[in-house]
Amino acid sequence: MDRTGKAALAAPLAPVTLVVGPEAFLAERAVARVVDAVRSSDPDADLVDVTAGALEAGALAEHTSPSLFASRRVVVVRELDNAGSDVAAELVALASAPAEDVHLVLVHPGGTKGRATLDALRVTGAARVASDRLTRAEDQVEFVRAEVRGQGSRIDEAAARSLVEAVGLDLRALAAAAAQLAADAAGPVTRELVATYFEGRAEVKGFVVADRTVEGRTAEALEQLRWALASGTAPVLVSAALAGSLRSLGRLSGLPPGTRDGDVARELGVPSWKVRSLRASLRGWTPGGLAQAITVAAATDARVKGAGNDPVLALTRAVVEITAARGPR
């Protein structure tokens, strides 16, 4: 397995898939790949998406029991590190003897918490997918090159490095940028095309700040904010990105459960790949916390546009207050 997240892909129709690592984008992509593969095989397949901490003993039997209305089912269990001992034992037993026509996807963020459960699952024969963070420059460049290849195009190392420098280190933003370039390039993606599309596109950095903030990653959001402002991103672009992300989450939270991604994308006016990231970001938010965060974003936008004296301080406080409104990860 390489560190780009590409070679780690398991058979999408495996009975059990174990996704391990702290990189949320790669983990979400691995989950989506299984769901998409199952629904391509059976469009009426059910999807159950739960967190391990919310499961009670015996609930898994209900989630994996045969359905009267669907021949297949995908059961996604996230935050495996929070599984209680009874639930952990049930998960290991189910992974050791998977239920017929049930595809179980287990997501663990890595680290030491829940290590015993993870070790027990690793010996069950589950297909494994790593979602490690890409911290080395070489891995980030190779990630971009793999993304472009996956879209049927090519990009050399110099052009890929330019894209990383222009867009930043957020994998979700890099994947979207690579897809856009590959779709629009008449031939291989060049440094000139990267420069035309992304160099100087400061709003991209604002979206990265917003993503980290709504995910509740305070330290990472503040780091991205400092980097964005130091590299010339206007504060108004960051505040606009924060407000836009929170509005999208608010609208998503008001849609009926089970609304398909395509319908959500049309309702919110966002690309389909963005729907999955919004769903991931929405987990952990309460209605009250989201309302509070939207209020903070609106006040910050006013301060940045002239109602306050220090836009940098206003944005810094907004990041802290919004992540606090979301609550602990």
Q: How does DSSP assign 3-16, residue by residue?
A: TTSSTTPPPTT-SE
pLDDT value for 46: 85
Specify the pLDDT at position 204.
62
Angle at 23 (CA atoms; ends 81, 120), nearest 5 degrees: 35
Which CA distances in Å does 195 have to 44, 151, 232, 301?
A: 44, 20, 16, 29
Neighbours of 85 (CB within 10 A): 10
Q: CA–CA separation, 227 vs 245, rounded Å?
A: 19
What CATH number is given to the structural domain containing 143? Answer: 1.10.8
Identify whether residues 112 and 57 lie together within a single domain. yes
Token pair listed for 263: 């319908």
Q: Is residue 10 part of a domain?
A: no
* Domain of 280, in residue numbers: 204-326
pTM score, two decimals? Answer: 0.61
Number of domains in the chain: 3
Residue 5 lies in a domain: no
CA distances from 322 to 20, 278, 303, 305 (A): 28, 16, 16, 19
Q: In terms of domains, do 210 and 193 share one?
A: no
pLDDT on residue 319:
96
Phi, psi of 116 (to 5 degrees): -65, -40
| Cβ neighbourhood burial of 159 (10 Å; 0-12, 13-18, 19+) | buried
Spans of the chain below 50 pLDDT: 1-8
Residue-wise pLDDT tens digits, 97-120: 988 889 999 999 998 999 999 999
Last residue of a domain, one of 172, 199, 226: 199
Q: Are residues 141 and 54 in the same domain?
A: no
Q: What is the pLDDT of residue 10?
A: 58
- Rounded distance between C-alpha atoms, residue 211 and residue 173, angstroms: 10
Using alpha carbons only, give the angle 88, 91, 97 rounded to the nearest 5 degrees.
Answer: 145
